[in-house]
Structure 1
């Protein structure tokens, strides 16, 4: 039996972006606004990319 990725996984993007931005801003690189913004954008897209990779790697051929 194969299980697909959770349907809510792509919706974690904004939450992950906020968490990553806050962590980088508070404890991280200290680069200011642009560093936090770039880190939040990357972190926000990670759940979406993970969902697509999961779907692609577990897609049945046939």
Structure 2
């Protein structure tokens, strides 16, 4: 099984940004939902910082 990348979501007032495990910006989305959908498309676990956790 390949190693999984760790991604985190940080919600700012103007956008929600997905960061990789090294802290590099992966993608910026206008809403948290779009960021979650992006990550689900990657099939990678997510750690959401600064926002509520949704399953």
Pick 1 or 2: higher relative contact order, CA cutoff 8 A, min separation 6.
1
How would you bin the TM-score normalised by the shorter chain? 0.3 to 0.5
Normalised by the size of structure 2, how large is the TM-score? Answer: 0.32
